[in-house]
A and B are shown apart, each in its own frame.
Chain A
């Protein structure tokens, strides 16, 4: 097989340019700040979707616990923002000033030890990457080294999502409980709530998203990406060829976790709160479906999937709340039964050939205008 040495082939390059134009130019110019902020919220799921393309589409590891990593990233960010919002001046009406409001309501009088380091932004940013990464490393090592995979892995990750949700909801005093961490205000003194801040945050997020696309694309193109695909198709053969299958799986799973965590952190910044309803089983499965709808094998497809499904969710559940669940359910079934490669698969099957033909006919015309009249004549 010929390995394409260029970073993007032509159709990927077109996908890249199209996405960049839409996200950097068209959406910011046409949408008001409220809608743009909604897009920013959808894009946080696109981070998760990129991770799932690597881990599920390429590696064949279906994780139903991406909400865990999204949540860990989001909570790390939210803890920093919450601490900054709970300065002594802001919270002087509390019985213990200087701690987050929900702790005060739960009769906690001192900041718990694991909250202490979140005063520092550097630590927070490191934690956003490292906490979910290490957590994924532990789960992945425990599972993949023992050759647990497939459905078992899916169920275990789902259980982990359930556990974390129950833990967050149950430990109200330390985590804010079911309401989560609300009323996040400033980042290093910079107010994240007004419109201009929302726009800046949107652009920061899009830049980060493209960075993640770059990393994912790089992984896909190197030998690593090839091994992931080989592993998905014929795990034993890869093992017999001398590769450590477990290590590659762990790597893919950790990458997916880190991407999800970045998405979660951007979620906390853009939306201004974080709650357990983005951690549990239901959101985790929804994240998988965004990827499946967009196309589990295509990075750009998955991003479009995340944007479109969320857009459909917002607009449908606003106007027809009952229809939405039916629609989502039907979407799940349709994606699985009818078009397993999602939107990108449909694109590759129906739209791409037409575009290719368009290019091909243009080339043929150029050839006819040039010297080789005799060569192109039989094609006419």
Chain B
């Protein structure tokens, strides 16, 4: 399959596809981060995660419309406000859902899967009723359009770079919160041993609620970033949910580093294969490889070693 291209062409192809893969990587990481925190922390499978992401996307879309009609002078900076709003909107909804639904089901992880799937159906229908069935796209501010010419054959779009920068920033802050702050220490304590954590005075229920909120909030930010590179519809979230779960499981649940590594390998494989074959076959091969590896190594790439 390499025969028709010269070495220089191949280099450019790999760089360009690698870059496209990096954008996919960003979306995966942002979605998987929230999911990994929730899944790793509570063992809860949140099938509605994609819908939390889409909520963030719709919040961003509304903010951009608001700025366009009322504050056109500040339009170039709307995205930063939108991101914060998206975080809090999704986070608040997440905490509400945890309080109403999830906390009753901690002992039945398979049932949370069904309940959150039901939630995702309801949210999808709610989006469809409120925002319409058609996909919406935000208008990007001027400075995000266009692309950077690196060499003659390599061009990288600015919004892609922005999304990636954002991903790095969010990942670092999540890592900081989880590994440096007092609250993060509590979260990790609850993950490792819930009963002991409760015994030393950590309010595990509160930790659970905020963790779920944080995970959903990150999903909201992911949705916000998602608007930069694609349009948003009521069912867009569902397209990514299985991939994201595979990313989390492949990385080894509860391992932040594993999540990032697996998101990177999956997205790079997929986008590189996409150039040489049809998109669907590339996806099939990638997913098959992931499932195959998981069958051989079920604990994922980076397994957390905890005595149960």
Which A positions have Cβ atoms within 8 angstroms of B?
Answer: 62, 64, 142-143, 146-148, 150-152, 154-156, 158-160, 162-163, 166-167, 169-170, 281, 285, 288-289, 292, 322, 325-326, 328-333, 335-337, 340
Q: Write out the residue numbers on chain B whose beta carbons fall within 8 Å of the beta carbon of A288.
A: 114
Do A163 and B109 have beta carbons less than 8 Å apart?
A: no
Give how many A-B residue pairs fall within 8 Å (CB-CB). Answer: 110
Q: Do B283 and A337 touch (CB < 8 A)?
A: no
Contact B246 A336 (CB under 8 A): no
List residues of chain B with CB under 8 Å of any chain A CB: 43, 45, 101, 104-105, 108-115, 117-122, 124-125, 128-129, 242, 245-246, 249, 278, 280-281, 283-284, 287-288, 290-291, 294-295, 298
Residues of A contacting B128 in the complex (Cβ-Cβ under 8 angstroms) = 322, 325
Question: Does B114 contact A289, Cβ atoms closer than 8 Å?
Answer: yes
Secondary structure at chain B's binding surface: helix, strand, loop or mixed? helix
Nearest-CB distance from A49 to chain B (Å)?
15
**With A143-B295, A151-B45 known to touch, is A336 a contact of B115 (CB < 8 Å)?**
yes
Q: Would you call A148 and B242 a contact (CB within 8 A)?
A: no
With A and B bound together, what is the CA distance between A328 and B104 in angstroms?
20
Selected A-B contacts with CB under 8 Å, 8 pairs: A162-B242, A166-B280, A281-B242, A288-B114, A322-B128, A326-B125, A328-B118, A337-B104
Compute how far the CA of A326 lies from the CA of B234 in the bound complex, rounded to whole angstroms: 14
Q: Which residues of A contact B45 (CB under 8 A)?
A: 151, 154-155
Q: Could you tell me if B113 and A152 are in contact, using CB atoms closer than 8 angstroms?
A: no
Question: Is there an interface contact between B110 and A62, defined as CB atoms closer than 8 Å?
Answer: yes
Contact A155 B280 (CB under 8 A): no
Q: What chain B residues lie within 8 Å of A146 (beta carbons)?
A: 295, 298
Of all chain B residues, the one with the shortest Cβ separation from A292 is: B114
Question: Chain B: which residue is nearest A281 at the CB level?
Answer: B242
A324 smallest CB distance to B (angstroms): 8
Residues of B within 8 A of A330 (CB): 118, 122
- A residues less than 8 Å from B242 (CB atoms): 155, 158-159, 162, 281
Q: How far is the CB of A235 from chain B (nearest CB, A)?
A: 13
Contact call A328/B246, Cβ cutoff below 8 A: no
A-side contacts of B287, CB under 8 Å: 159, 162-163, 166
Whether A333 and B298, one on each chain, are in contact in the complex, defined by CB atoms closer than 8 angstroms, is no
Q: A151-B45, A337-B104 are in contact. Are A143 and B284 (CB under 8 A)?
A: no
Which residues of A lie under 8 Å from residue B278 when comparing CB positions? 170
Contact B295 A142 (CB under 8 A): yes
Q: Provide the residues of chain B in CB contact with A154, threshold 8 Å.
A: 45, 110, 113
Residues of the B chain whose Cβ atoms lie less than 8 Å from the Cβ of A169: 280
Q: How far is the CA of A144 from the CA of B126 in the complex (A)?
A: 39
Given contacts A62-B110, A160-B291, 7 further A-B contacts (CB under 8 A): A151-B45, A159-B242, A166-B283, A325-B122, A329-B119, A332-B115, A336-B115
Question: Knowing A155-B45, A328-B121 touch, does A333 contact B101 (C-beta < 8 A)?
Answer: yes
Min CB distance B65 to A, Å, is 24
**In the bound complex, how far is the Cα of B121 from the Cα of A325, in angstroms?**
6
